[in-house]
């Protein structure tokens, strides 16, 4: 039996510094993931620690709405996972997105650059700016560029409940308006994925009669925001934050058996519209959703099980969780129950890292790639000997 990948996880917090010294694993076969608060744009000291330690590794990361380390959530910390592979090739590319309209082209370019560099590409892990990128068209570009032959997972950066600014690591700096992708190639890499919600649907199903990309104007030819406020009642005064508690289930034309969850990023009182984290196509059917806490937690467990992680592979497994900020707000003190449920669906002693996001990227079926909202998405990485 040969050597398989090695794993290490650590966390930096302002009061205590690093939980453990970073190992000297620099090299082109080393993948480093970092997830931290948006404040690191102003004071990137711990990010510089990582980048100085791994100057030739593939380092990727983003800002969050909460950092995940095992069954614990932190804010304004830095969670780090380091995987040193033995038989897997790693590639990395970035794209700047100056306008949401460029999102598809960015995804297409990222995918084509990576697949041309590594013909035996098996998976892409993608991190995107969470506010200035259209996640739906980004994933559509990624899917077209890989021709459905590559597993694509990842997520959109967060900024807590502030929705003010997010960053992605690009060229060794935390930058706004960027998308970064890591390609993993070769026959020895094994990537699992799972994504579940756990929301309950309520109220009548309505047709989206006017929309533009991720902006919804009318449902059943009625002003969308006005109709939405009627369902929220007193909670409407807290928009857009309270909209995280009541996302929309969307069934797109031509894919009526595939339901996607969409959460609101902004509202416009002037034209009574709502801007979502993903596209809401005209002609789709939409229905409101609300939380059932036990079902949300059960969904996290099911997402971990859906990764179908191979427990017979002798080497370690790295699990990366990307869960929506809306789930954290609703679960409140029970949020760590979601992480415990996730761990219980994975092989024993599997390190779990990740972040709370503004959107989750994962397939729903082989050969697909979708942007999800209000979901728990798990990606697992293994390497065979």
pLDDT in tens, 49-93: 999 999 999 999 999 999 999 999 999 999 999 999 999 999 999
More confident residue, 379 or 279: 379
Token digits of residue 96 = 């700047």
Nearest to 92 by CA among 200, 178, 199: 178
220, 331 contact by CB (below 8 A)? no
Structure tokens at 290: 């609300």
The torsion defined by the Cα of 249, 254, 258 and 259, in degrees rounded to 10, comes to: 0
Range 214-239 burial, b when 16+ CB lie within 10 A, else e: bbbbbbeeebbbebbbeebeeebeeb
Average pLDDT, the chain: 93
Calpha distance 136→361 (Å, rounded): 9
pLDDT class of 327 with cuts at 50, 70, 90? very high
Lowest mean pLDDT among 4-13, 100-109, 228-237: 228-237
What local confidence, expressed as pLDDT, does residue 254 receive? 66
Question: What pLDDT, on the 0 to 100 scale, is given for residue 1?
Answer: 46
Confidence of residue 15 (pLDDT cuts 50, 70, 90): very high
Is the pLDDT score of 256 beyond 70?
A: no
Q: Give dist(CA 364, CA 194) in Å, integer.
A: 8
- pLDDT value of residue 292: 87
Token pair, residue 146, equals 């890989």
pLDDT of residue 287: 92
Residue 31 scores a pLDDT above 90: yes
Spell 260-287 as b/e; 16+ CB within 10 A means b: bbbbbbbbeeeebbbbbbbbbbeebbbb
Quick check: helix, strand or coil at residue 338? helix
């Amino acid at each position: 039996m040969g050597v398989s990948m090695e794993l290490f996880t650590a966390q930096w917090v302002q009061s205590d510094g690093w939980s453990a010294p970073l190992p000297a694993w620099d090299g082109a076969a080393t993948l480093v993931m970092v997830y931290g608060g948006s404040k690191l744009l102003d004071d990137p000291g711990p990010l510089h620690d990582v980048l100085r330690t791994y100057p030739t590794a593939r380092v990727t990361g983003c800002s969050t709405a909460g950092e995940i380390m095992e069954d614990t959530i932190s804010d304004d910390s830095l969670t780090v996972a380091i995987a040193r592979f033995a038989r897997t090739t790693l590639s990395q590319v970035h794209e700047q997105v100056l306008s949401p309209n460029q999102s598809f082209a960015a995804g297409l370019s990222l995918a084509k650059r990576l697949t041309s560099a590594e013909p035996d590409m098996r998976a892409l892990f993608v991190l995107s700016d969470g506010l200035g990128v259209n996640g739906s068209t980004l994933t559509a570009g990624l899917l077209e560029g890989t021709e459905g032959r590559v597993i694509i997972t990842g997520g959109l950066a967060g900024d807590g409940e502030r929705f003010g600014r997010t960053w992605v690591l690009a060229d060794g700096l935390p930058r706004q308006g960027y998308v970064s992708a890591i390609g993993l190639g070769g026959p020895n890499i094994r990537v699992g994925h799972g994504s579940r919600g756990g929301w309950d649907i309520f109220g009548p199903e309505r047709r989206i009669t006017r929309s533009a990309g991720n902006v919804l104007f009318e449902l059943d030819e009625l002003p969308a925001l006005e109709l939405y406020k009627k369902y929220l009642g007193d909670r409407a005064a807290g928009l857009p934050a309270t909209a995280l508690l009541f996302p929309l289930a969307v069934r797109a034309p031509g894919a009526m058996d595939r339901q996607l969850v969409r959460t609101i990023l902004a509202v416009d009182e002037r034209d009574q519209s709502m801007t979502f984290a993903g596209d809401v196509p005209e002609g789709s059917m939409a229905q409101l959703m609300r939380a059932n806490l036990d079902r949300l937690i059960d969904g996290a467990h099911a997402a971990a099980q859906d990764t179908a992680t191979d427990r017979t592979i002798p080497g370690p497994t790295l699990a990366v969780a990307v869960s929506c900020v809306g789930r954290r707000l609703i679960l409140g003190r029970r949020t760590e129950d979601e992480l415990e449920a996730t761990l219980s669906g994975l092989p024993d002693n599997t390190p779990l890292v990740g972040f709370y996001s503004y959107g989750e990227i994962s397939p729903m079926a082989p050969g697909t790639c979708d942007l999800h909202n209000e979901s728990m998405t798990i990606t697992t990485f293994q390497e065979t000997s």
